[in-house]
Amino acid sequence: MEKLKSVEKLTDAFSKLPGVGHKSAEKMAYSVLDMSDEDVELFSSALKDAKRKVHKCPECGILTENDICEICSDKGRHKDRIIVVSYPKDVLGFEKLATYDGVYHVLGGTLSAVNGVGVDDLAIVSLLERIKRDNVKEVILATNPTIDGETTALYIAKLLESTDVEVSRLAYGLPMGGHLEYADSLTLSKALEGRKKI
Amino acid sequence: MEKLKSVEKLTDAFSKLPGVGHKSAEKMAYSVLDMSDEDVELFSSALKDAKRKVHKCPECGILTENDICEICSDKGRHKDRIIVVSYPKDVLGFEKLATYDGVYHVLGGTLSAVNGVGVDDLAIVSLLERIKRDNVKEVILATNPTIDGETTALYIAKLLESTDVEVSRLAYGLPMGGHLEYADSLTLSKALEGRKKI
């Protein structure tokens, strides 16, 4: 049977998406043929629009469609308190709490010898500049509780050692609602180490 | 956190694809932001290209990028033998066998009272015209082995009853390589009914 080159190209494009194998990509490509011309047009421009409109906030690195993101441009938020995260999506969890009134700083990853991510690949210099410029009083390091996340947090903490900035790291311990029997030994030892008097 | 409207629109577009829920669609949309400008451009035009270039062969209904599909325009294939299928993709299985040298006719679905698909919604009139025009000698009904597929096959068989055309239906029975214990009772009864002397 005739090879449909345009469908193959579309299949290739779909298969570059996360979690999409060749079979699913092919199914998706064929489903596009059944869409209305209008829907395909909308889909096609939605791709280009998202790529064109969304960029990192030049202040903090959060994804935004504005010049400066809504958090950085919010006058009600304290510029002298920064939560440092690795990725834009990590901000979401804190914002859902709706209790934090400071700002954020997105590093854009974690230091990693294995993946070849060095200090210059992360937004560390701009963090230091912000700290100085905005007279930041508190930095909360919220990189992931992994070896790389830990390394990154320790590196930044060391850079700020000689300053007056209060540097903290998120607490480690048992996740709420979890069961003790399922806790891995590293988490358990961290929970024991960080035990608090009640 | 700021709502990224362009990402939401793209998420909506992705979630219209088969087997893609909201969470995966969102993940896909964000992954587009990490693609190169060039890849996004290619993806965007691949969508429009596939939709524009691929159409049904006016002869048989198979999807093609040419005026007439490769099978219909192949002089080596016998035009007087037609396998009738419901969907273009059903042709693939037969073509893989590489033993069939006739042509196909795609109905575009099956008769279905539940889904409101009637005789006029399927390419039945054009099938009758082809049969007459090309002096077709054999029609093999290869609609799905479902109630609707069966109804459709019987309907077409009835239409051809008064003609000289040899009409047949694919055989029912146990799938090769399967296990008897897993065969459903309908398949088993069909297998028994169609038993052959050895």
Nearby residues of B52 by Cβ (< 8 Å), 6 or more positions away: A6
Residue B198 lies in a domain: no
Nearest Cα residue to B43 out of A47, A27, A28: A47
- Nearest-CB residue to B47 (from A27, A44, A53): A44
Residue A99 or B128, more confident: B128
Subunit contact A1:B35, Cβ cutoff 8 A:
no
Residue B9, domain extent? 5-53
Which of A53, A73, A89 lies at the terminal end of a domain, its last residue? A53
Distance between B144 CA and the closest CA of chain A, angstroms: 19
Same domain as A129, residue A72: yes
Same domain as B69, residue B162: yes
- Nearest-CB residue to A1 (from B35, B43, B91): B91
Q: What gap in Å lies between CA A28 and CA B19, rounded to an integer?
A: 9
Distance between A107 CA and the closest CA of chain B, angstroms: 16
- Nearest-CB residue to B7 (from A33, A54, A92): A54
pLDDT at residue A23 in the model: 92
Same domain as A126, residue A33: no
Same domain as A44, residue A82: no
Same domain as A187, residue A100: yes
- Structure pTM? 0.73
Highest mean pLDDT among B107-111, B171-175, B194-198: B107-111
Q: How many domains in chain A?
A: 2
pLDDT at residue A194 in the model: 78
Residue B129 lies in a domain: yes
Same domain as B72, residue B38: no
pLDDT at residue B186 in the model: 80
Subunit contact B13:A64, Cβ cutoff 8 A:
no
φ/ψ of A108, rounded to 5, equals 90, 20
**B31 to chain A: which residues are within 8 Å by CB?**
17-18
* Lowest-pLDDT choice from A89-98, B9-18, B27-36, B145-154: A89-98
Q: What is the dihedral of CA A53, A56, A58, A60, to 10 degrees?
A: 140
Distance between A47 CA and the closest CA of chain B, angstroms: 6
Are A63 and A73 in contact, with CB atoms under 8 Å apart?
no
- Nearest-CB residue to A37 (from B18, B51, B53): B51
Task: Count the neighbouring beta carbons within 10 Å of the beta carbon of residue A18.
Answer: 10
Same domain as A14, residue A79: no
pLDDT at residue A75 in the model: 94
pLDDT at residue A1 in the model: 63
Q: What is the pLDDT of residues A23-55, one digit of tens each?
A: 999 999 999 999 999 999 999 999 999 999 999
Are B25 and B14 in contact, with CB atoms under 8 Å apart?
yes
pLDDT at residue B112 in the model: 92
**A7 to chain B: which residues are within 8 Å by CB?**
50, 54, 63
Give the ipTM. Answer: 0.74
Nearest CA in chain B to A34: B51
Same domain as A114, residue A44: no
pLDDT at residue B1 in the model: 64
Strands A102-106 and A78-85, how do they pair? parallel
**A50 to chain B: which residues are within 8 Å by CB?**
4, 6-7, 9-10, 29, 32-33
Same domain as A119, residue A73: yes
Same domain as B77, residue B43: no
List of chain A residues with pLDDT < 50? none
Subunit contact B63:A4, Cβ cutoff 8 A:
yes
Subunit contact A13:B46, Cβ cutoff 8 A:
yes
Subunit contact B92:A1, Cβ cutoff 8 A:
yes
> What average pLDDT does the segment B57-65 reach?
94
Residue B159 lies in a domain: yes
Subunit contact A28:B18, Cβ cutoff 8 A:
yes
Q: For residue B41, give the 3-state DSSP assignment.
A: helix
Subunit contact B1:A44, Cβ cutoff 8 A:
no
CB pairs under 8 A between A and B: 151
Same domain as B96, residue B24: no
* CATH number of the domain enclosing A100: 3.40.1360.10
**B9 to chain A: which residues are within 8 Å by CB?**
42, 46, 49-50
Residue B125 lies in a domain: yes
Subunit contact B20:A28, Cβ cutoff 8 A:
yes
Subunit contact A47:B24, Cβ cutoff 8 A:
no
Residue B183 has pLDDT above 80, yes or no: no
C-alpha triplet A132, A133, A135: angle, nearest 5°: 65
Residue B117 lies in a domain: yes
> What average pLDDT does the segment B38-58 reach?
96
Residue B13 has pLDDT above 90, yes or no: yes
Distance between A56 CA and the closest CA of chain B, angstroms: 10
φ/ψ of A10, rounded to 5, equals -65, -40
* CATH number of the domain enclosing B16: 1.10.8.420
Same domain as A140, residue A90: yes
Strands A63-64 and A55-56, how do they pair? antiparallel
Best of A7, A23, A47, A73 to disrupt the B interface (most B CBs within 10 Å) is A47
> What average pLDDT does the segment B14-26 reach?
94
Residue A58 lies in a domain: no
Task: Count the neighbouring beta carbons within 10 Å of the beta carbon of residue A182.
Answer: 9
The runs of H, that is alpha helices, within B114-198 are 125-133, 147-159, 185-193
Residue B196 has pLDDT above 80, yes or no: no
Residue B130 lies in a domain: yes
